[in-house]
Amino acid sequence: MAGRKLTFKREVVLDKAMALFWEKGYPATGLTELLECMGIKRQSLYNTFGNKHGLFLEAIAHYSSTIVKN
């Protein structure tokens, strides 16, 4: 069975998560706050990024590839 198609743009939610992590720091950023900021559901976060730490790692990679261009 194929998974459901994403109903959000990955880059957009990564931008939002990146900004929130930057503003508050990883430890002070709650999962509920992230979900509200990104406009996605909990299950979408788990299906797409695994967990908060996985999202954080992807946000760092996204920052590196879009902001800190080598």
| Residue-wise pLDDT tens digits, 18-53 | 999 999 999 999 999 999 999 999 999 999 999 999
On whether the 10-66 domain is CATH 1.10.10.60, my answer is yes
What pLDDT shows up at residue 26?
97
pTM for this one? 0.85
Please state, in angstroms and rounded to a whole number, the distance separating the CA atoms of residues 38 and 41. 9
Structural domain spans, the chain: 10-66
